[in-house]
Structure 1
Amino acid sequence: MPRRNHHSGRRGMPKKGASKRARSAAVWEPRRLPDDGAAFLGTQVETGPSWDYGAPYLVRRMGASAAKKYYICPGCNQDIPPGIRHIVAWPRDSLRGSEDRRHWHTACWERR
């Protein structure tokens, strides 16, 4: 059985005899992800706090091992120290994107 070129079956990849120009043109570029963090695995849409009239918010749960800094919770105005699991939430339709992210205690987010 003849040996197949493993690149010949992939879309966008040049065949073995392709010119150098064709090979360089087939370089795959990853698509750019949103800067606001919406593409992270586990990001969900939930109803926001009452003072924002229930606007949709993007919400991520941060585990204790991922919490590396101190944050101020907007729900109780208290510290969230490093090593405490918490919620990161920001308005879905915000024009400022990641600048609007806020870190909440889990309990404060639940009673928002």
Structure 2
Amino acid sequence: MARANRSRGRAARAREEHPELDVDRLTSGWRRTEVRAGREWNVQPVSEVQAVKAYLCPGCGLDVAPGVAHLVAWRADGVLGDAADLAARRHWHIHCWRIGER
């Protein structure tokens, strides 16, 4: 007869102690800094799940519809301070942000 108080393996304990990580959630909000036309910009991706409102893309003038992955960009080197830069942030289609670099 097998022992009932047998020690369970380390892998079994680890699965119970740590919840599974949501990789999409972890990678969707990575903010980065980019330089465009000599200015520094904070750029943060917004996933399809996080996109719940419609915005007007300043690159093409069309709507960024809810449920569409896009980018939020705001100045990182503005003279009026971080609060003013964050208030002036804009939501861009990913494609429009990329072609705007030319």
Percent pairwise identity: 38
The answer for the alignment partner of 2:58 in structure 1 is 74
Q: CA deviation at 1:99?
A: 1.0
Unaligned 5+ segments in structure 1 are 1-40
**Secondary structure at 2:43's aligned position in 1?**
strand
- 2:35 aligned partner, one-letter code: T
The answer for the alignment partner of 2:96 in structure 1 is 108
Greater per-residue strand proportion: 2
**Paired residue total:** 68
Contact in 1 for aligned 2:48/2:67 (Cα 8 Å): yes
Larger Rg: 1
Q: CA deviation at 1:42?
A: 1.3
- 1:75 aligned partner, one-letter code: G
Task: Provide TM-score, normalisation by structure 2.
Answer: 0.62
Q: Deviations over 1:10-41 (max 9, x none)?
A: xxxxxxxxxxxxxxxxxxxxxxxxxxxxxxx6
Pairwise CA RMSD of aligned residues? 1.2
Unaligned 5+ segments in structure 2 are 1-28
Q: Distance in 2 between matches of 1:54 and 1:84?
A: 29
Where does 1:1-112 land on structure 2 (aligned, <5 Å)?
Answer: 42-48=30-36, 53-94=37-78, 95=80, 96-112=84-100
Q: CA deviation at 1:54?
A: 3.2
